[in-house]
Amino acid sequence: MPRLQYYRAKSLQEAARMLADGGCQAAILGGGTDLVPRMKRRQENFKALIDVGAIRQLSQIRRAKNKLYLGAGLKLSFLAQSSELSQFAAFKQAAGLVATPAIRNQATLGGNLCIPTRCVYFDRSDQWRESLGFCLRHKGLACRAAPGSAVCLAPMSSDLAPVLVALGAQVQLVSRDGERAARLEEFYKNDGKDHLQKSAGEILAWVAVESGVFTDSVYLKLSRRHSFEFPSLGVAVALSRRKGTIDAAKIVLGSIAPYPVVARESQDILIGGKLSDELIAKAAGAAARQATPVANADLSPSYRRKMIGVLLKKALHEIRQAGS
């Protein structure tokens, strides 16, 4: 591990100031479960880390009116078990599916939403990437997974992002110069090299979710084994049903593009209908058309693409079963 300076901020304002002072040499440290391994691999070489773990505000859940404000420092193991979140079933599920129990005890909500995209051609040692030839993301000229692509297509691989986008979450971003709110859906963009709509000086302070909007939510994660795994595909579904009729639907696909992909066509198919076998099949069929994965993650792109529809179908069946 390269040498670095470590700061423990006492307040959000202090952290924001430190971050601004550090420029691009400084980074926020949440649980460090993603950042520290990257620094060990020398994919990042920050000279200073600003730990936000001591900021009380960031590890609290506040309720105001119909909104729940989740501090960015909340640990995933806590979120997976919190009774305050029982109406956001998919969110709890997703938090419980991240990595391993030990990592979940350390990993934070903010860190999870901000982890860099992942790619089998990039998350490797220098010597490995030199053997291959460097890629778009670092030193090189071409994307190794999709040589024709002008941008890095490394997928956003957070389990929580697709669920929170589906639940319509908002994030609060704080910097030395002020703060702003943004819809999480708009927090990501289609560039794997730099996929967050956020400046280096901004800290994700909390996430707000509105209660009572959706009646059902499910998250399904595709991976080869049951633990210690990033998703190869994540399918998040949130529905609002009144007397069986769907009046709102949100379907979001994770780990398939640099940003969480909203499966609009499938949403439109569902809205106004009931969860019949035919409707489910139709929505599932449409979902695969929403994304074109490339060979940058575990499992082949064609398999991952095929599984979009399969998982969506399973998710909708699950909702139907639970509701009946």
Ligand X SMILES: Cc1cc2nc3c(=O)[nH]c(=O)nc-3n(C[C@H](O)[C@H](O)[C@H](O)COP(=O)(O)OP(=O)(O)OC[C@H]3O[C@@H](n4cnc5c(N)ncnc54)[C@H](O)[C@@H]3O)c2cc1C
Closest distance to ligand X from the beta carbon of 228 (Å): 6
Question: Alpha-carbon distance 130 to 207, whole Å?
Answer: 39
Closest distance to ligand X from the beta carbon of 158 (Å): 4
CA angle 214–218–223, rounded 5-degree value: 155
Residue 65 binding: pick among ligand X, other proteins, none (C-beta 5-8 Å cut-off by kind): none
Residue 128 binding: pick among other proteins, ligand X, none (C-beta 5-8 Å cut-off by kind): other proteins
Contact 160, 153 (CB under 8 A): no
Bridge partners (DSSP) listed for residue 35: none
One symbol per residue from 282 to 301: x for binding other proteins (CB under 8 A), - otherwise; what is it?
----------------xxx-
Q: Report the residue count for the chain.
A: 324
User: Interface with other proteins includes 123 (CB under 8 A)?
Assistant: yes
Q: How many Å separate Cα 88 from the centre of its chain?
A: 16
CA angle 147–149–155, rounded 5-degree value: 100
Structure tokens at 143: 């994307």
Segment 176 to 235, residues that bind other proteins, using CB under 8 A: 222, 224-228, 230
Residues interacting with ligand X, by CB under 6 A?
A: 27-35, 37, 52, 72, 76, 98-99, 103, 107-108, 110-112, 114-115, 158-159, 203-204, 228-231
Q: What is the DSSP string of 217-280?
A: EEEEEE-SSSSS---SEEEEEEEEEETTEEEEEEEEEESSSSSPEE-HHHHHHHTTSB--HHHH
* DSSP character at residue 183: E
Residue 306 binding: pick among other proteins, ligand X, none (C-beta 5-8 Å cut-off by kind): other proteins
Closest distance to other proteins from the beta carbon of 280 (Å): 13
Total of residues contacting other proteins (CB under 8 A): 30
Minimum CB distance to ligand X smaller for 260 or for 309: 260
Structure tokens at 216: 């059902």
Closest distance to other proteins from the beta carbon of 230 (Å): 8
Which window, 109-117, 125-133, 167-175, 207-215, contacts other proteins (CB under 8 A)? 125-133
One symbol per residue from 82 to 121: x for binding other proteins (CB under 8 A), - otherwise; what is it?
------------------x-------------------x-
Contacts of 21 (CB under 8 A, 6+ apart): none
Contacts of 36 (CB under 8 A, 6+ apart): 1
Closest residue to bound ligand X by CB: 111
Q: Site residues (CB under 8 A) for other proteins?
A: 2-3, 100, 120, 123-128, 130-132, 222, 224-228, 230, 298-300, 303, 306-307, 310-311, 313-314
